[in-house]
Structure 1
């Protein structure tokens, strides 16, 4: 009875698929004939057409143009001027006559009760910081998990999403985090005894070397890449061995540089700089590499704070460009005097070598 039945209309000859149930309920069965009959009745009865418009909450502002043409009208609810077609207000595909009212009604249907929405957000760990505006609008909230401000949509929370990017990152990092016992075992295998709990593989980890007894802060990533105690290293700058702080100048570039090097190294940094046109101006010997670095860093911090930025680029000086200064603003003699003032107490007995 409710199955579409292919037929042909005896009145207009058009094919159709009415159901036996619709025919028995008094429906026409032929859609084109039904539309023509409706159009005829409406076309010849403007008052009946206007009554349909008023029933839909619209007041016509011009004579009836026909069912298929826009009919300028005023909405009696919001006073907006609209132009719906009469045929869109009748039949099975009936549409609202006023689009602004329809949009507002759709928005209200989409909105959740604000109290319920706030309660839902709090249940998921968020404290709203502004009024609720709808499921699709970013909602500024305080995350109870990490204490940061985030702006998820209410719809994303209802869909089961995290809502807080920082918390999601922390959970992902925790899932990838190294087991603390395994991390400590890796350090001990490299001759380093941890002095504090493990955090991450990229965080400096304070340890004591079981060979030399000195304390350093390597990262687990560096240890696993083959590094070890910086004081026991047999390559590069030895921080436990005698060292020197030096000043070099470059006439063509009008630049000066401060640096550190081992006291007895062959093919050291000063020799490397000479290949790029640098000339040694002054050097001061200190007992250890740590002492040399302390002097260098103290001078760099003071001069950078005074507004003397890095003068050269990595292209001009591939190794050590970050310790360069404009020679017209900071002279080599000023760097020499700064080294003498900053040298540690342990180095006071060492005799400096002054070339100029």
Structure 2
């Protein structure tokens, strides 16, 4: 062990047992096995000595590293910082400044995201959204694949489309698409009856000939009577309002709410609708903090996604969940250690206004 740079600090325990030793190079105390040191050549120290050995093997010459970056179209703005570390460089084509890593560039990840169009500036992103009939209500999130809260200029409803989807497909609005659906899909009598039966409804009257006209029917599950509109059925699991009373209709008014749990120090949010769905956490320990009324529940959903994006975007995880509070919607919570009630309320009031 002395020949290999380790000073034993206790009696020899055996070839297969950890042996407490001090490294003669860095001074750290380790517990290598005699058999590993002698037969496997792993060395007596796996701490600082091992880290320095790995770093030295990965270290590249500064001149060669600079030449590699320039070869791939990046002009370094500072000396080579070392293997695996961020390196301030300027793109030789568009002059944008980025932090690159030599390892990434050598492995084929040298393309500039601005030159390839994968990264868009805030002004250009706003122009794309506005040209597609959408007005952003929040600053550009920075990435094309992140939801962006916006209002539709055609119908006034809210949504969270991504810049990527708007760039590829143009106008993105759930309400506009829902309105255009009946015009694109015309059903004959046989298709309309099949649609009603698929959703658990037995028609009582002849087909009215239109998909936007109420059609008297009876539920095949609970025998209750209703008059649904055929065009709305593809968006629901069941057409009977009694069987689907816990669901939320996206076109009807809905509430966005914030709730507080003093015992768990947690903040929760969700969407509810009168007569259809109770508040997101049903335990008595949750107390209502604020409520906002929307003309369409889908707009409330958009704000619910916006709140989650803002909180999770800052790296704040869901609140710690107790066993007795087991709930599949716990993902819509945050710890009060990370975000305060005032911050959550401010996120909504900046766009919607005061709570009702």
Give TM class, smaller chain: 0.3 to 0.5
Instruction: Point out the structure with max Rg over C-alpha.
Output: 1
TM-score, normalization by structure 2: 0.33
TM-score, normalization by structure 1: 0.33
Q: Greater helix percent: which structure? A: 1
